[in-house]
Amino acid sequence: MVFYILRRLLFLPLALFGVSLLVFTMIGFLSPYQRLATFINNPERLKGENVDKLISQYGLDDPIFIQYLRWLKNVFRGNLGWSYVGKGPVFEVILERFPYTLELTIFSVIPIIFLGISLGVISALHHNRVVDHALRIFAVVGWSFPDFVFGLMVLMVFYSALGWFPPGNLSIWAETVVKSPVFRHITGMLTFDALLNGRLDIFWDALRHLLGPIFTLTYVELAFILRITRSSMLEVLQRDYVRTARAKGLSEKVVINKHARRNALIPVATVSGQTVVGLLAGTVIVETIFNRTGLGSFMALAAQQLDYASIMGGTLFFGLILILGNLCVDVSYAFIDPRVRLE
């Protein structure tokens, strides 16, 4: 077990090195002037005739591997350049926005996994009956819905027609409270900060603004978990130990809850981990549509405005998160399913 984790940890720096190389290769497609923007922390210095001098000063015409090492050194110092979109150093902007994305992910994962598993179990228990077919259609349609199409429809119906799920992060009155010095920022996540400050009204307001994105992500992402749960449950229900449990005369409830479902959930745990990691990255569209602050909308905005420093820094950060996330997922399998350890 320890050996397994250690082996995975050994690969971590290698993977990070690879991602940095990939990101740098992409930077290589940019002209020296565009690349300059990924180095300089102060926008004033990028004006006028300074530029040519700066290009040679920063060695942007040096051999590529020297440039790479220099860039890497800057990255390690947390110097990722200046973000026009975020109006600050890229590194700080990312750290400030990441909690918003994390918050949305945490709140979306709960209904996705809970509903996905329960509907999947229901579907399996009604195999090939009306409920099963209805749920399969529900799932495959959700699976086929692009998140921006569904998000736009949610906005149209639930916000502009019904007035339920407002876009943005907070209402104006709550925004003023949050920005005032009285409000302490601890986690950077609005709902948790509101609770820690003892402001239930702000907590409720922040949660209300999260409902639209949560609803959208839930429907679009639910199908995956539902399908895996269903097929895994169907497989487990045919196993000998389930038949034994039935033969022993155990009640159907005990057979399903204790014998079948627990074993059926092992592959679901695998997929759930991937869903969490995917959600963290998949918020680009949803945050943009619902006009929320976050890493995803930051990336979209930076790409639209050709803010190269932000794009590169954001990509590197996403890569880091994904690699660490996948590592956690893999290690947790080893805990859940003892068979993984033996491989």
Partner 1 sequence: MKRETRRLLKKFFSNFSACLGFVLLVFFFIVAVGAPYIAPPKSARDPYMMPIVTWSSNPLPPSPEHPFGVAGKRDIFYGVVWGTRTAFRIGIIVTVVSTLIGLAVGSIAGYFGKLVDEILMRITDIFMAIPFLVAAIVLATILGAGLDKVIIALIVFSWMYSARLVRGNILQVKEEQFVMAARALGVSDFMIILRHVLPNSIFPVLIQASMRMGSLVITAAALSFLGIGAPQGYADWGALLNYARNWMMGSQGEALRYWYMTVFPGVAMVLFVLAWNLVGDALRDVFDPRLRM
Which residues bind to partner 1, rule: CB under 8 A?
14-15, 18-19, 21-22, 26-27, 29-30, 127, 140-141, 143-149, 152-153, 155-157, 159-161, 230-231, 234, 278, 281-282, 284-285, 288-289, 299-300, 303-304, 306, 308, 311-312, 314-315, 318-319, 322-323
Looking at the Cβ atoms of 72 and 281, the one nearer to partner 1 is 281
Looking at the Cβ atoms of 174 and 237, the one nearer to partner 1 is 237
Contact predicate 320/23, CB 8 Å? no
Looking at the Cβ atoms of 69 and 153, the one nearer to partner 1 is 153
Task: Report the nearest approach of partner 1 to the CB of residue 144 (Å).
Answer: 4
State the alpha helices, DSSP H only, in the chain: 2-27, 32-36, 50-57, 64-76, 90-125, 130-144, 147-154, 172-179, 190-196, 200-237, 240-247, 252-254, 261-289, 295-304, 308-336, 338-342
Task: Report the nearest approach of partner 1 to the CB of residue 60 (Å).
Answer: 16
Contact predicate 124/135, CB 8 Å? no
Task: Report the nearest approach of partner 1 to the CB of residue 303 (Å).
Answer: 4
Task: Report the nearest approach of partner 1 to the CB of residue 29 (Å).
Answer: 5
**Angle between the N-to-C axes of helices 200-237 and 130-144, in degrees from 0 to 180, rounded to the nearest 10:** 120
Task: Report the nearest approach of partner 1 to the CB of residue 256 (Å).
Answer: 17
> From CA 273, how far away is CA 326, in angstroms rounded?
8
Looking at the Cβ atoms of 136 and 246, the one nearer to partner 1 is 136
b/e for 88-102, b at 16 or more Cβ within 10 A?
ebbbebbebbbbbbb
The candidate with the shortest Cα–Cα distance to 221, out of 277, 167, 265, is 277
- C-alpha distance from residue 33 to each of 44, 50, 85, 138 (Å): 14, 11, 18, 50
Task: Report the nearest approach of partner 1 to the CB of residue 58 (Å).
Answer: 19
Looking at the Cβ atoms of 89 and 314, the one nearer to partner 1 is 314
Using alpha carbons only, how large is the chain's radius of gyration in Å? 24
Task: Report the nearest approach of partner 1 to the CB of residue 151 (Å).
Answer: 10
Task: Report the nearest approach of partner 1 to the CB of residue 307 (Å).
Answer: 9
Looking at the Cβ atoms of 111 and 278, the one nearer to partner 1 is 278
Looking at the Cβ atoms of 1 and 157, the one nearer to partner 1 is 157
Contact predicate 37/65, CB 8 Å? no
The candidate with the shortest Cα–Cα distance to 171, out of 196, 204, 200, 193, is 204
Looking at the Cβ atoms of 3 and 29, the one nearer to partner 1 is 29
Other C-beta atoms lying within 10 Å of the C-beta of residue 322: 16
> From CA 223, how far away is CA 219, in angstroms rounded?
7
